[in-house]
């Protein structure tokens, strides 16, 4: 019986308790440098199913495996395509996820029947400590209800999933604030491709690879490659309940009352929207700072009853700006 949403969840830093819950097949929220994850024992199919249930996520959308060392990763995957170790050494622990050919011990439930498993080593001291104490890896999608904005603070998780889970490991606000970059190797071209823009930028990857990884395009999907898609590429995703637009055009300006308009700007304020309805993500123009505040700002306005329309101009199309634009476009998708 669930009376109020946040009734049963405990928020704290008790690693022993979290480890015990995970061992019992429970799911718990964990902090990472990108966003909070909803974690369960990757080797326990019941726990994995519970993750899908709690998030209300369709089981065709696979989960990322989280572990604490490259040595561990080697137990879970069959081989490393060229440059895997170079990239891992440079960016792990950190916001980079590889799609790698899975070993048998990784269940089809985790990968949604895919032959590749998504793996990463998150960069958060509490979670790394937790992972190194466990004798199983954790699968963890972002700890938000399916399609909603990803949580970057423990209280975001409590607000939305508090009635469905027992514990939130509180690691403070997420430093990066957007999800990990996902890379998959294309055997045909012998190059890595971007399945999701995220916390590691294209520029950073290019420095290691010597080429700029191309985007994996959905249009390449035919029935036989369908299993390789990252459903994070869904057109509408990461989205608030309120309408999101890039510009306040004259039509919108007359159709919404002024008090109902909110603005999330990168550096500059909007000349027309009420001062009190504006959040500027980084007055000094730092995309890293902007990324760490972005989801929180969307939530902030989404939860205000008076707000009906959130205006968010596109970010500069460079560095973390690309990942931000990607989330923004999906948030604005009809
Ligand atoms: O930063 C992150 O990656 C966060 C934190 C918690 O680690 N996790 C996260 O998980 O964003 P999730 O489930 O919200 O997004 C993972 C994306 C999904 O779009 C999923 O479809 C894709 O990764 N994915 C996972 N496993 C895959 C696989 N085997 N093949 C293709 N895509 C996969
Ligand atoms: Mg997600």
| pLDDT tens-place string over residues 180-234 | 999 999 999 999 999 999 999 999 999 999 999 999 976 544 444 444 456 556 6
The minimum-distance atom of ligand 1 relative to the CA of 232 is 19
Is the beta carbon of 181 within 6 A of some atom in ligand 1?
A: no
List 116's β-bridge partners, or say none.
101
Q: How many CB atoms lie within 10 A of CB 44?
A: 18
Show the 3-state SS of 120-184: ECCCCHHHHHHHHHCCCCEECCECCCCCCCCCCCHHHHHHHHCCCCCEEECCCCCCCCCCCEEEE
Long-range contacts of residues 20-23, Cβ cutoff 8 Å, at least 24 apart: 21/166, 21/167, 22/47, 22/134, 22/138, 23/134
Cis peptide before 63 (omega within 30 of 0): no
- Write down the pLDDT at residue 233: 64
- pLDDT (0 to 100) of residue 116: 98
Q: CA angle, corner 318, sides to 90 and 122, nearest 5?
A: 35
Give the pLDDT of residue 291.
Answer: 98
DSSP 190-257: TEEEEEE--SS-HHHHHHHHSSPPEEPPGGG--TTTGGG--GGG-SS-S--SSEEES---HHHHHHS-
Show Cβ contacts of residue 218 under 8 Å, excluding neighbours closer than 6 positions: 229, 233
In this prediction, residue 220 carries a pLDDT of 46
- Residue ranges of the chain whose pLDDT lies below 50: 1-6, 220-228
Q: Distance from the CA of 63 to the center of ligand 2, in angstroms?
A: 9
> Which atom of ligand 1 is the closest one to the Cα of 144?
14
Taking the C-alpha atoms of residue 116 and residue 227, their distance in angstroms, rounded to an integer, is 9
Residue 239, ligand 1, Cβ within 6 A: no
Cα 310 to Cα 149, 285, 313, 325: the distances in Å are 14, 20, 10, 15
State in Å: Cα 196 to ligand 1 middle.
Answer: 9
Pocket probe mutation, ligand 1, options 32, 111, 118, max atoms within 8 Å of Cβ: 118
What number does the ligand 1 atom closest to the CA of 231 have?
A: 21
pTM, rounded to two decimals: 0.94
Task: Report the pLDDT value the prediction gives residue 314, as an integer from 0 to 100.
Answer: 98
What is the whole-number distance in angstroms between the Cα of residue 331 and the centre of ligand 1? Answer: 17
Of 118, 150, 174, 139, which Cα lies nearest the Cα of 50? 139
Nearest to 243 by CA among 113, 138, 334, 115: 334
Cβ neighbour number for residue 38 with a 10 Å cutoff: 28
């Amino acid at each position: 019986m669930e009376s109020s949403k946040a009734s049963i969840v405990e928020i704290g830093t008790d690693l022993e308790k979290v480890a015990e819950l995970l061992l019992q097949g429970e799911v718990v929220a964990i902090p990472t440098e990108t966003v909070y994850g909803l974690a369960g024992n990757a080797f326990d199919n019941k726990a994995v199913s519970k993750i899908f249930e709690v998030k209300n996520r369709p089981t065709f959308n696979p989960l990322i495996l989280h572990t604490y060392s490259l040595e561990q990763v080697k137990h879970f995957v069959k081989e490393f395509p060229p440059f895997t170790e170079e990239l891992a050494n440079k960016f792990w622990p950190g916001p980079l996820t590889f799609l790698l050919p899975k070993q048998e011990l990784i269940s089809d439930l985790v990968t949604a029947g895919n032959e590749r498993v998504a793996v990463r080593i998150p960069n958060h001291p509490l979670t790394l400590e937790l992972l190194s104490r466990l004798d199983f890896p954790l699968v963890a999608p972002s700890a938000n209800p399916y399609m909603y904005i990803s949580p970057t603070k423990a209280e975001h998780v409590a607000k939305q999933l508090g009635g469905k889970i027992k514990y939130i490991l509180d690691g403070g606000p997420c430093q990066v604030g957007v999800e990990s970059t996902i890379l998959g190797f294309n055997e045909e071209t012998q190059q890595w491709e971007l399945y999701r823009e995220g916390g590691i930028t294209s520029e950073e990857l290019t420095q290691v690879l010597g080429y700029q990884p191309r985007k994996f395009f959905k249009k390449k999907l035919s029935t036989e490659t369908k299993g390789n898609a990252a459903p994070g590429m869904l057109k509408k995703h990461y989205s608030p309940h309120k309408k999101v637009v890039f510009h306040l055009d004259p039509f919108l300006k007359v159709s919404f009352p002024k008090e109902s308009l909110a603005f999330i700007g990168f550096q500059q304020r909007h000349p027309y929207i009420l001062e009190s309805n504006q959040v500027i993500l980084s007055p000094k123009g730092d995309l890293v700072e902007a990324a760490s505040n972005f989801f929180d700002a969307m939530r902030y306005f989404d939860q205000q009853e008076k707000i009906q329309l959130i205006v968010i101009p596109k970010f500069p199309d460079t560095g973390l700006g690309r990942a931000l634009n990607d989330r923004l476009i999906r948030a604005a998708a009809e």
